[in-house]
Structure 1
Amino acid sequence: MNTSTSIKILVLVIFTLATLNISLSSNGSSGCIESEKQALLLFKQHLLDPTNRLASWVEHEDCCRRWVGVVCDNVTGHVLELHLQNPTNLDWDYDDNWNRDDYEAYKRSRLGGKINHSLLSLTHLSYLDLSYNYFGGIPIPHFFGSMLSLRYLNLSRAGFGGLIPQQLGNLSNMHYLNLDGYFDFYDYYNARLDIENLGWLAGMSQLKYLDMSFVDLSMALDWLQTVNMFPSLKELHLSYCHLPPPPSTLLSRNLSSLAILNLGRNDLQNTSHVIMRWVFSLKTLVSLDLSYNDFEGPIPNGLQNLTSLRHLDLSFNQFNSSIPDWLYGFSPLEFLNLRGNYLQGQISSAIGNMTSAISLDFTLNDELEGGIPKSLGSISHGLECLDLSSSQLFGQLTGHLGYFKNLRQLYLSNNSIGGSIPESLGELSMLRVLHIFDNKLQGNLPESFGQLVNLDLSQNNLSGSLPKCIHNFSVMATQYDSTTLRLVRSIDLSDNNLSGEIPEGVVKLQCLLSLNLSHNHFSGRIPKGIGAMKLLEGLDLSDNQLSGSIPQSISNLTFLSYLDLSNNDLIGKIPSSTQISGFPASSFIGNQLCGPPLTQNCSAANGEIDPSMRNEDRGDDGDGDEVDWFYVAMAIGFGTGFGAFLLPLMVSRRWSGIYFQFLDRMWTRLLLLHAKANLISCSLAALKQFLQNISFFPF
């Protein structure tokens, strides 16, 4: 047999064996491994699952193909991954706009109970995610340290408490470890994680991601030496850990790959020189968070060494210098947060050098002053968020504002900015949030505000009327895209000099949650269709000159939790509904209103209703006054008929006596109708008194 033939036979054998192996593998993956299915069912039995998230975990279904959250090897059928994180988790750090319904949905969908050791049977499990559940403060199971195949373990904000077991250090294959201990503000101190030292972490030499935020590390004096030993570590999060002072010297710096470092909320003031020296040596950093640490003095020049930085957060410290020009010169910097310091001086024109800037936050620096630099226009193409509020800035908004085509959020509140709002504002199609309250703005409102979802221009000197096309706030009028899903949809124009009527178009803003037009000079009636704003949670129209009755449709606002209509010229009965009568009387005082929650009885107030409003009210859909006006008409007719008899009554005492007997009988009967015909009662009482006076005339 020659060499060529031998090679062909060898290739054929290899191909046959490979085909046989694939066939056998395919047959083997027809279902999950029974022992692992039973282990998962036992694990499920010890869990609390109030929303039945694991309903698919049943005996007769294939755990690899049908069970939610279970991922198996396609060839062997072994369980590789368990994705059991809360599907409705709330990110407390970055999601400021969650509401009560969001929170309740989050709580309901949390798994709880106990972690059964049957998970040890999953010998090939490499991925376990139990984040954003609630296990009631129980310790992290020690046996997790025996699940040696684990490469990914996420127990963040899941309600574990007590000492973190050092057995986790046995997981030498671990790449991702998230033990973030903050899961719920209200339960935080009931189940806090803590640790005595971090030496056990040395066993995880392949670690790339470590998050121990909100874990008490106050006893871990070796924290900096330990985290400094991981050459593969790319992300390190140690926020709110009560970090103790590190040693004054470090023997080695092995964090050669670290890109993201978060040391926020640790009050590192007394160790700032050691921490800063270490931070300055991390040349690969792309994101640095040193917020809430009480650092003092000028912004450290050593930050210039971090030339790859794109995200820098120095907020809520005590830096008290001017903003250095070298910081403006960080051309790669995309996010800069200097909020809540004591920075001084003016914002330099060098800010125009920040050509990569996406978000700039300089708010709550009371000693920043001067005008807004024109050079900001040089970075207008990429800027999405600009916050210069709560400083001492002055000047005016100009038409150049229209150049910021990608701007999504603009905050200039609590300054001394004057002038009018430029019409070019309406050209910013990406703008969603505009806050310029507590300034010195004047003039009329622009005809268009683009696609805002959150507008606050309160506490200015704006005048004129609301634009007729206010319904063109299209994002508030219709469904909103995913980028605005979490933004509070509100309009606040309070404390200005606005006047005129509230346009009917406002009721088309059916996605609006809050409307505040108080402390202006608005007149006319409350829009009749206001009940169409189904999602409205807050409505404040107080301290205006609104007149007429309150539309009955306001009772349709079932989500309304705040209402203030006080100090207007409103008249008539407050619409009857559980929703409206539940508000305090202070929501309606300073008007001519009656009915709950006010103590004034409507029967005593009817005579004060403006007669000019009667015909209008009759046409007011759902105002509930039709029956009342029917009795008014009946009383008028009754009075006319009685007038036909006045002449014989005045001429003959005999006829007068007969009619008074008849009137007494009628009066007794009419008293029975008093509850239904308030206006008739008042009219007949007056008429009876008049006829009695006639009987004393000398004939």
Structure 2
Amino acid sequence: MGSSSMRIAAIVFYLCFLTFVTFHNCFCNGNSNIVCSKTEKQALLKFKQDLKDFSNRLSSWAGDNCCQWSEVVCDYFTGHVHVIHRPHNYSDADCHYKANYSKYEAYWCYHQLGGKIDPSLLDLKHLRHLDLSRNDFGGICIPSFIGSIASLRYLNLSYNGFSGAIPHQLGNLTMMRYLDLSWNDFGGICLPRFVGSIGTLRYLHLSCAGFNRAIPHQLGNLTMMCYLDLSGNHFEGIRIPSFIGSIGTLSFIGSIGSLRYLHLYYAGFSGAIYLDLHYLDLSWNDFGRIRLPSFIGSIGSLRYLDLSNTEFSGAIPHQLGNLTMIRYLDLSRNYLGLPGQIPLSTQLQSFENSSFVDNKLYGPPLPNCDTDKAIPKVGHGGNEEGEGFLEVWFYAISALGFVVVGPLLFKMHWRIA
């Protein structure tokens, strides 16, 4: 029985290995047995004809079989073009030139495509994945015909220099899962309402795109979305909409119950927040010195929390100690404390002091020098002798408490960590 089971397992493993090799050769290296249709080949050649390609990125776009061309992936069985993507070897430049920005920028500029985006892409009836990111189309508007490529599930137009209005036709892409329009300059327009009609969206990247004014409530209809990035826009003075979260009572505008990653860095938001996430970055916004909301401590699945430079004030709510899964925390450069102690015997003690600097806080994990500056002084009408007497008693009692409670805190620290 044992040898029979081993034989079956070996056969299954071998079949899986053959399947992997076959698909790897097909999708990664091309396969001479797959031939694209003449219509799709002609569509790609027309698309290439209107592009400016100074580095000859598309030099392989010749011959009869477009399934063997670079940046093109075909379906293994039908030969239909499914993917047009950015070259994978571009990621090598990120590593190679990371320490030299001028060479890095020159590399990208040289390898960018430009010119026009030809409507011939409409003849690719089975195109699912279109990645034109990191090119330079010289400030033109996003072509409206892209909204008619009904088969699209993935659209990345980031870092392209697009400007002007975003065509409402993109709202027709009802099968799309991923949309990235980040790092373009749309000139201070409102975030388009039609985005909320793409109910299948899971990833929405709109950072650094020149959006401002209100966020349309239609985004609350994106109930399948798990990643939202609105950072680096100009929403000055606007409250974070309550529908960005899993607030069940807001059924009239929907809720984003599956949202797990939210980036609102440097977006100018203010006011209260209502969220339920794994990743939360609200840094560099202005919440007008409101108190840090205690309900954040109830987001038990939170792993990353950045609230630096957000103008929060008051004491750190003890509920933040309930975030037992958190791995990154930054509360620095706020008005927390005024003054106040970091809650003891909590998860908060497991972080470095850099998570709390530039506030009016004291207590572990801050070093003693910061503690001395932040401890509130209690006196009697400016009587220096009385102030000194009370300070001596304060330090004596603190030392005694550390001797008694210290071992317990040590054990608790390991239990929490």
TM-score for both structures, normalised by structure 1: 0.43
Find the residue that maps to 1:163 and give its secondary structure.
coil
1:44 corresponds to 2:37: no
Counterpart residue number, 1:162: 164
Counterpart residue number, 1:651: none
Write the deviation string for residues 381-424 of structure 1: whole angstroms up to 9, x where unpaired: xxxxxxx9xx9368xxxxxxxxxxxxxxxxxxxxxxxxxxxxxx
Kept in 2, the 8 Å contact 1:137–1:161? The answer is: yes
Deviation at 1:361, TM superposition (A): 4.3
Give the length in aligned residue pairs.
Answer: 330
Q: 2:325 aligns with which of 319, 332, 338?
A: 332
1:114-129 alignment, distance < 5 Å: 114-129=116-131
1:203-352 alignment, distance < 5 Å: 203-219=197-213, 221=214, 223-243=215-235, 245=238, 251-269=252-270, 272-273=271-272, 276=273, 279=274, 282-283=275-276, 285-295=277-287, 296-344=289-337, 345=339, 348=342, 350=344
1:466-615 alignment, distance < 5 Å: none
Write the deviation string for residues 218-271 of structure 1: whole angstroms up to 9, x where unpaired: 25x4x24111111111111111232373688954442111111122212222xx
Kept in 1, the 8 Å contact 2:218–2:253? The answer is: no
Find the residue that maps to 2:66 and give its secondary structure.
coil
Q: 1:353 aligns with which of 347, 351, 367?
A: 347
Deviation at 1:193, TM superposition (A): 5.3
Counterpart residue number, 1:72: 74
Q: Distance in 2 between matches of 1:243 and 1:288?
A: 17
Decide whether aligned partners of structure 1 residues 393 and 212 sit closer, same or farther in structure 2, where only a CA change above 3 A counts.
Answer: same
Deviation at 1:365, TM superposition (A): 0.9
Kept in 2, the 8 Å contact 1:125–1:149? The answer is: yes
Write the deviation string for residues 115-136 of structure 1: whole angstroms up to 9, x where unpaired: 1111111010010011122211
Deviation at 1:363, TM superposition (A): 6.1
Counterpart residue number, 1:176: 178
1:142 corresponds to 2:134: no
CA RMSD of aligned residues (A): 3.4
Find the residue that maps to 1:80 and give its secondary structure.
strand
Decide whether aligned partners of structure 1 residues 337 and 373 sit closer, same or farther in structure 2, where only a CA change above 3 A counts.
Answer: closer
Deviation at 1:347, TM superposition (A): 6.6
Counterpart residue number, 1:19: none
Decide whether aligned partners of structure 1 residues 138 and 351 sit closer, same or farther in structure 2, where only a CA change above 3 A counts.
Answer: farther
Q: Distance in 2 between matches of 1:294 and 1:162?
A: 28
**Larger RCO, structures 1/2 (Cα 8 Å, 6+ apart):** 2
Structure 2 gaps of 5+ residues are 1-30, 244-249, 373-417
Q: Distance in 1 between matches of 2:354 and 2:321?
A: 13
- For residue 52 of structure 1, what is the amino acid of its counterpart? N
Q: 2:195 aligns with which of 198, 201, 215?
A: 201
Higher strand share: 1
- For residue 207 of structure 2, what is the amino acid of its counterpart? S
1:362 corresponds to 2:355: yes
Counterpart residue number, 2:385: none
Decide whether aligned partners of structure 1 residues 29 and 149 sit closer, same or farther in structure 2, where only a CA change above 3 A counts.
Answer: farther
Deviation at 1:149, TM superposition (A): 0.3
Q: Distance in 1 between matches of 2:197 and 2:242?
A: 25
1:412-431 alignment, distance < 5 Å: none
Q: Distance in 1 between matches of 2:197 and 2:112?
A: 32
Q: Distance in 2 between matches of 1:194 and 1:85?
A: 31
Write the deviation string for residues 16-72 of structure 1: whole angstroms up to 9, x where unpaired: xxxxxxxxxxx9954111121111111112212222221211135x211x2111010
Decide whether aligned partners of structure 1 residues 354 and 341 sit closer, same or farther in structure 2, where only a CA change above 3 A counts.
Answer: closer
Find the residue that maps to 1:261 and give its secondary structure.
strand
- For residue 70 of structure 2, what is the amino acid of its counterpart? V
Q: Distance in 2 between matches of 1:178 and 1:171?
A: 13
Kept in 2, the 8 Å contact 1:89–1:132? The answer is: no
Counterpart residue number, 2:396: none
Q: Distance in 2 between matches of 1:145 and 1:119?
A: 11
Counterpart residue number, 2:404: none
Decide whether aligned partners of structure 1 residues 143 and 324 sit closer, same or farther in structure 2, where only a CA change above 3 A counts.
Answer: same
Structure 1 gaps of 5+ residues are 1-26, 183-190, 375-387, 395-699
Aligned sequence identity (%):
37
Find the residue that maps to 2:73 and give its secondary structure.
strand
Deviation at 1:322, TM superposition (A): 4.1
Q: 1:57 aligns with which of 61, 66, 70?
A: 61
Decide whether aligned partners of structure 1 residues 292 and 373 sit closer, same or farther in structure 2, where only a CA change above 3 A counts.
Answer: closer
Write the deviation string for residues 355-376 of structure 1: whole angstroms up to 9, x where unpaired: 9x788842651544566469xx
Counterpart residue number, 1:31: 35
Deviation at 1:85, TM superposition (A): 5.8
Write the deviation string for residues 99-155 of structure 1: whole angstroms up to 9, x where unpaired: 222222222222222111111110100100111222111111100011000010011
Write the deviation string for residues 494-513 of structure 1: whole angstroms up to 9, x where unpaired: xxxxxxxxxxxxxxxxxxxx
Kept in 2, the 8 Å contact 1:86–1:110? The answer is: no
Write the deviation string for residues 152-200 of structure 1: whole angstroms up to 9, x where unpaired: 0011122111111111001111111111135xxxxxxxx4455445331
Decide whether aligned partners of structure 1 residues 359 and 87 sit closer, same or farther in structure 2, where only a CA change above 3 A counts.
Answer: farther
Decide whether aligned partners of structure 1 residues 109 and 160 sit closer, same or farther in structure 2, where only a CA change above 3 A counts.
Answer: same
- For residue 256 of structure 1, what is the amino acid of its counterpart? G
Decide whether aligned partners of structure 1 residues 202 and 337 sit closer, same or farther in structure 2, where only a CA change above 3 A counts.
Answer: same
Larger Rg: 1
Q: Distance in 1 between matches of 2:351 and 2:72?
A: 39
Q: Distance in 2 between matches of 1:239 and 1:342?
A: 22
Q: Distance in 1 between matches of 2:341 and 2:108?
A: 42
Counterpart residue number, 1:488: none
Counterpart residue number, 2:153: 151
Deviation at 1:90, TM superposition (A): 11
Q: Distance in 1 between matches of 2:352 and 2:62?
A: 49
Find the residue that maps to 1:81 and give its secondary structure.
strand
Q: Distance in 2 between matches of 1:128 and 1:366?
A: 46
Find the residue that maps to 1:153 and give its secondary structure.
strand
Find the residue that maps to 1:57 and give its secondary structure.
coil
Counterpart residue number, 1:100: 102
- For residue 45 of structure 1, what is the amino acid of its counterpart? Q
TM-score for both structures, normalised by structure 2: 0.70
- For residue 262 of structure 1, what is the amino acid of its counterpart? H
Find the residue that maps to 1:43 and give its secondary structure.
helix
Q: Distance in 2 between matches of 1:266 and 1:44?
A: 37
Find the residue that maps to 1:214 and give its secondary structure.
coil
Q: Distance in 2 between matches of 1:101 and 1:393?
A: 45
